[in-house]
Amino acid sequence: MSSSSRKAETAPRTQQACRRCRAKKSRCDAGRPSCGGCAAQGQECVYDSAPPRRRGPGRSKQAVLALEERLAQMETTLRRAGLAAQSSSLTDDASPTPEAQAAPSPNPLPLAAQPQPEPSPAPVPAPAPPRQPDHDPPSESPVASRLPDFVAARMFLTKPVPAIEGPTFPRRTYTPDFDRQILNTLWLPLTPSVAAAFPVLNADCLVGRFQGGGPAADALFDSTHGWAYACACMALGSSLKCLNEAIPALFPRIWPWFMNALATIAELTTTATDPLAVQALVGMAVFMQGSAASSAAVALVASAATLSNRLGLHRDGGNDDPVRYRIFWAAYILDKSNALNLGVPSAIPDDDIEVDLPPPDIFWLRLRAQLATIQSRIHTSLYTARALALPGPEVFRTVLDAERMMDSWRRTLPGDMADAIVEGGLGGDADELTGAQLDVVMTFNTCQILVHWSSCRMEGDLTLTVGVGGKESAPQSMLLPRGRHCLLRCRSGSTAVMRAFCSVPAPPLTVLWRTVCHPLCAMIVLLVDILEEPATTQSTMLLQTIRSFTTFLETFQREEKCDLAKLIAACGTLLWVAQAAVQRARDGTDVVVPEGTAGVTPEKLLSLLRSTTSPMTLAQALIGNQPTRDSALAAELIAMVACPDYRPIGVPLAPDALCPSTYGFHLDGGM
């Protein structure tokens, strides 16, 4: 027998069939010369070799490796979900055992729903490790997102829940080596400075509760609100007493005290029942107002106002405790100041307050609370979204009402304060203003600026009855253009703010930064005044007023060794633009263009400044990170004046020393 015959006999039946039977897929007896089927049809058989069957899809080496990788990912995912995945060998010859085939599961449940078998006491040999793929599997398995919901639910219900022990609000301390006695030794001597600089902290009437060393003082200090208030006062007092040139060395030791207070904010806002908790939040907010993180200060003020509402401090519940009312007005003052200066909504409604103003013996706090009510009315009537959409005549009538309200308040001031406050002073023998006095003077004149800014460029004439001279002068009727009248009031308020700010020779850097928004607002108004009428004699006088402000900043930086380079550079460029406009209007010549500011022109600057909603919100956007209506204009202005790159800290004109991130505390939105 030939080798071909032997191969034909041993070949598979498919390859032994003739071509006709193989095409019809019928049984062939492989008869020679013709099979039975072909002989019956009278056909001749044709025998040839059938093409070998190729391996089906998925049988290649690459497909096997891919399946092994997917199986390994599935096992990893199930193991993470807490399911017992049986390990098996992933070789080609792996097959289920006869015992497993003979004993099928009587209850075929899904994998996640099947009960887990009890472990056998007999030792089981470790299975062979699965074959590793050629490359590492991805860190996050894509199979995890495809698991059915009951797997995640089973994991949630079967995972053990750790026992919750200890307090719900554990107190975190950033100054662990200081106990109550040491803190009292440090912060109590600082309270007179805190009380004089910030009347809203009410330190003069609250510090006595911490003194004496009795059980009540110990319990107050150990409480969350007492601890937070003491740490906030410690941070504020230390920043007031710190030499400006020593800020880089001492602020890393001052900021942890503030963080001690800030760590209690969750407990204060949710469970506190003592009004001192509101005062602690006010203290934290005042501290943050002296930094570049104005958004954190806004959040703290809102928390204090909301907690004040929750505790009912605005209600007259028959409680004659004056401290309770003073704490409410402290939160009210900060809340209304933020509403007008930053454009954020107020948290305390004016038509739901039942308590009286602070008594007259608390003079500066009472004046500041009265100004806060004026700030609230100005913001509501002129700077809300509804007020900004009012027509011109109605806006001007609102301006006149606000002006009469401010003049009425000014006439209630004692002595010659009524005349001196519009000049940036208080009259009498006071050569310079203290913290509380400076706050009152600049707040009043800034309110005057913001009242008239909304309509200072309106057209048309109107007969106005205004007071000329001191408070004893009789009102006189005069015909003034609407825009001209508001412009004169804006100019007067801006000049007074500049004069008051420059009257303090060497304030602490944090106090300067807390109040520098007022002269920046005034400078914006004066720049618009100069650029609109650069050829007048008044423009030269206003130019000198702006120059006195920039000179004050330069002197402060040189003598106090503080970094105000960005603020000084921006103010210097704006001053140059105004000076160039005045010189060009007079003799037609141009001044030398500072390096990097070739793109700024008086026309561009005037167009930008006139489009601001409020000069105060523009100023706040330059020195803080709280978004305002004019944040986009602030970024455009900074690009125009070629300020140094500020992106590492996020605030255009802020020094690094006043950024929390400088000391490792990221409270400023990624500065």
Residue type, 183: L
Q: How far apart are the first and last CA of the chain?
A: 94
| Residue reference for tokens 């401010």 | 406
Phi and psi at 424, nearest 5°, equal 90, 20
Q: What is the mean pLDDT of residues 60-67?
A: 82
Q: How many CB atoms lie within 10 A of CB 310?
A: 14
417 pLDDT more than 80: yes
- pTM of the predicted protein model: 0.76
Q: Where are the alpha helices (DSSP H) in 355-391?
A: 363-382, 385-388
Phi–psi pair at 481, nearest 5 degrees = -65, 145
DSSP 312: T
Contact 302, 347 (CB under 8 A): yes
Do 562 and 247 form a contact (C-beta atoms < 8 A)? yes
Give residue-wise pLDDT tens across range 137-174: 445 455 555 556 667 777 777 888 888 777 888 888 89
* Other CB atoms within 10 A of residue 296 CB: 24
Residue 210 is classified by DSSP as: T
Whole-number Å distance between alpha carbons of 576 and 340: 30
Contact call for residues 20 and 46 (beta carbons, < 8 A): yes
**Measured in whole angstroms, how far is the alpha carbon of residue 253 from the centre of its chain?**
24
Q: What per-residue confidence (pLDDT) applies to 84? A: 42
Burial of 161 (0-12, 13-18, 19+ CB in 10 A): exposed
Q: Given this model, what pLDDT does residue 94 score?
A: 44
Q: What is the pLDDT of residues 2-17, one digit of tens each?
A: 555 555 555 566 677 8
Q: CA 329, CA 513: separation in Å to the nearest integer?
A: 23
Give the chain's largest Cα–Cα span.
143
Both tokens assigned to 141: 């398995």
Looking at per-residue pLDDT, the higher value among 176 and 567 belongs to 567
Sequence-distant contacts of 625-629: CB under 8 A, at least 24 apart: 625/292, 625/293, 625/294, 625/295, 625/650, 625/651, 625/668, 625/669, 625/671, 626/294, 626/295, 626/297, 626/298, 626/342, 626/344, 627/295, 628/342, 628/343, 629/343
Q: CA 277, CA 395: separation in Å to the nearest integer?
A: 40
Three-state DSSP class for 338? helix
Torsion (CA) 392, 396, 401, 404 in degrees, nearest 10 = 170
User: Which whole number is the average pLDDT over 373-389?
Assistant: 94
CB within 8 Å of 5: residues ≥ 6 apart:
none
pLDDT digits (tens, 9 = 90+) for 469-521: 555 555 555 545 566 778 888 999 999 999 999 988 889 999 999 999 999 99
Residue type for position 575? L
Distance CA 483, CA 498 (A): 22
Q: What is the pLDDT of residues 69-90, one digit of tens each?
A: 888 888 877 776 654 444 444 3
3-state secondary structure of 647: coil
For 48-107, the DSSP string reads -PPPPPPPPTT-SHHHHHHHHHHHHHHHHHHHHTT--PPP---STT----HHHHHS--SS
pLDDT, residue 103, reads 44
> Phi-psi bin for 449: left (phi > 0), alpha (psi -120 to 50), beta?
alpha
Q: Residue written as tokens 């944040």?
A: 631
Average pLDDT (435-441) is: 90
Both tokens of 565, joined, read 């380079």
Would you place residue 123 in the very low, low, confident or very high pLDDT band (cuts 50, 70, 90)? very low
| Contact indicator for 18, 30 with CB cutoff of 8 Å | yes
Torsion of the alpha carbons at 221, 227, 230 and 232, rounded to the nearest 10: -170
Spell out a b/e string for 193-229, using b for 16 or more CB atoms within 10 Å of the CB, else e.
Answer: bbbbbbbbbbbbebbeebeeeeeebeebbebbbbbbb
When the pLDDT of each residue in the chain is averaged and rounded to a whole number, the result is 81
CA-wise closest residue to 534 among 603, 615, 486? 603
Q: Tokens 């006439």 sit at which residue?
A: 411
The H-or-E segment that residue 479 falls in is: strand 475-481
Q: Name the amino acid, one letter, at 121.
A: P
- Residues written for the chain: 671
Q: What is the pLDDT of residue 433?
A: 79
Burial 426-458 (b: 16+ CB within 10 A, else e): beeeeeebebbbbbbbbbbbbbbbbbbbbbbeb
DSSP 8-state code for residue 142: T
Cβ–Cβ < 8 Å for 180, 219: no
242-294 pLDDT, tens digit each? 999 999 899 999 999 999 999 999 999 999 999 999 999 999 999 999 999 99
According to DSSP, the residues that pair with 461 across neighbouring strands are 481
Three-class SS of 106-119: CCCCCCCCCCCCCC
CB 375 within 8 A of CB 336: yes
